[in-house]
Amino acid sequence: MTPETKPLVAGNWKMNGLRSSLDTLKTIASGAAALVGKTDMLICPPATLLREATSLCSRTALRIGAQDCHSLPSGAHTGEISAAMVADCGATFVIVGHSERRDFQSETDAIVRSKAAAAHAARLVAIVCIGETGAERQSGETLNVLKRQLAHSVPDGATATNTVIAYEPVWAIGTGLTPTTDDIREAHAFMRADLVSRFPGNGTNMRILYGGSVKASNAAELMAIVNVDGALVGGASLKADDFLAIAGIYGSL
Ligand SMILES: O=C(CO)COP(=O)(O)O
């Protein structure tokens, strides 16, 4: 079984986590051992914890990723972190284009695409986030938004190995709301068809995660949807028990 045909359950800690949170990471890493071969597991802690996290997890099945990277390899960009720096920490994944960055840091599709390309150049797996706002859903624009974001945020060099798509409806993040099963099925089928047509040979196996209010209570229903290849989990990844419960459900299906 190739890595990309297994589900990926990823946790995005966002701007949460001090060194004391490394205990949570240790617990998650211990739990990951039971899911080897069933589901891949990833935690993306804040940049301040990256190096310690990769050291702690080096002999475990838990992978570590960053939450963002700059598009350039180095230079006069105070406060920024390059993809090469992320890789140098021992991390293997990086999230790019999260809706919070698109919103608060005004990141465009072009910026997101260049960050994903930088991640690829540094041999990192890029998790490219896309998703419609509540207003876009209300006006029936969801699939058009996904088409545009896929076309302009995913670089040409994307493969099933170096890229993961994360569909996160903006209005579902941190709200307890999720789209209906039918709406998620429609969105994921649409993204799959788009990826297959643009990336023949890779689009079929490129993982498409669902994110937005994923919890242990809805994980089974979400994972049962065709073309949902895992989850990007925010709030519920901050507690080891909650995250392990979600990963256990994905690993059992
Ligand atoms: O934004 C998210 C993950 O990147 C989802 O966050 P929640 O799981 O807290 O809704």
Q: In order of start, what are the domains of the chain with their CATH numbers?
A: 91-241 (3.20.20.70)
Cα(194) to ligand 1 centroid in Å equals: 24
Alpha helices in the chain (DSSP H): 22-32, 50-57, 83-88, 99-104, 109-121, 134-138, 142-153, 181-198, 216-223, 240-252
232, 239, 246: which to mutate for ligand 1, most atoms within 8 A of CB?
A: 232
Cα(126) to ligand 1 centroid in Å equals: 17
Are 21 and 53 in contact by the 8 Å Cβ rule? The answer is no
Q: Which of 66, 67, 61, 128 is closest to 92 using CA atoms?
A: 66
Instruction: Name residues contacting ligand 1 (CB within 6 A).
Output: 12, 98, 168, 173-174, 211-214, 232-236
164, 214, 217: which to mutate for ligand 1, most atoms within 8 A of CB?
A: 214
174 annotated ligand binder: yes
pLDDT along the chain (253 residues), means of 10: 78 97 97 95 98 97 98 97 98 98 98 98 98 98 98 98 98 98 98 98 97 97 96 98 96 77
Per-residue model confidence (pLDDT) at position 251: 83
SS (H, E, C) 180-241: CHHHHHHHHHHHHHHHHHHCCCCCCCCEEEEECCCCHHHHHHHHCCCCCCEEEECHHHCCHH
Q: What is the ipTM of this complex?
A: 0.99
Q: Is 120 a catalytic residue?
A: no
Per-residue model confidence (pLDDT) at position 90: 98
Q: Output the pTM of the full model.
A: 0.97
Cα(66) to ligand 1 centroid in Å equals: 15
Cα(201) to ligand 1 centroid in Å equals: 30
Q: How many CB atoms are closer than 10 A to CB 183?
A: 14
Q: Is 98 a catalytic residue?
A: yes
Are 233 and 244 in contact by the 8 Å Cβ rule? The answer is no
CA of residue 211 relative to chain centroid, distance: 8
Per-residue model confidence (pLDDT) at position 116: 98
Q: How many CB atoms are closer than 10 A to CB 149?
A: 23
Q: Which residues contact 233 (CB under 8 A, 6 or more apart)?
A: 9, 10, 11, 12, 211, 214, 243, 246
Sign of CA dihedral 226, 230, 233, 238: positive
Among protein residues, the one whose CA lies closest to atom 8 of ligand 1 = 234
Per-residue model confidence (pLDDT) at position 253: 67
